[in-house]
Amino acid sequence: MAEKTSGSINQADEIQSQLNQAFKELDEIRNTRQSITDPNSLEGAERAILKATDKIAALMTALKIQQAIDSDELREKADELVQAMPEKLKNQGRRPVSIRTSRGTAITVAAPYFSRKNKKDKRKKKKKK
């Protein structure tokens, strides 16, 4: 099994922690007795439920994406792609990447970042007179 970087493990743990907090918030909504006596109070309750469930859906999506990024299979495919490139690429480590879900919520995952290797300019610069 390939070694996992601490950045990706920390990101997955952070997402899991946020997900646990979101489940607690949803449980609080579920366990709170709410008096719904008019359309406005019903709409407010529905909005709170939708907000909480959308947050859970976004965090679960982020967790699944992070797990996929951290998988050995994807890492091997990324290595193959980098090796197949005509220019040499340098692994800059993991960087936060924002993704907008289909429901419109922005999530952040840690993904590998590659850049072109710097080639030193071997041409001599002409002096201007």
Per-residue pLDDT for 9 more than 80?
A: no
Does 71 reside within a domain? yes
Give the chain's domain count: 1
pLDDT of residue 116: 86
Burial of 16 (0-12, 13-18, 19+ CB in 10 A): middle
Q: Is residue 125 part of a domain?
A: no
Does the pLDDT at position 1 exceed 50? no
Supply the pTM of this predicted model: 0.75
In-domain check, residue 80: yes
Is 44 a domain residue? Answer: yes
Domain around 48: 6-116
Better pLDDT: 12 or 128: 12
CA–centroid distance for 51 within its chain:
19
| Residue 107: Cβ within 10 Å count | 19
Average pLDDT, the chain: 87
pLDDT at residue 88 greater than cutoff 90: no
> Would residue 123 count as lying in a domain?
no
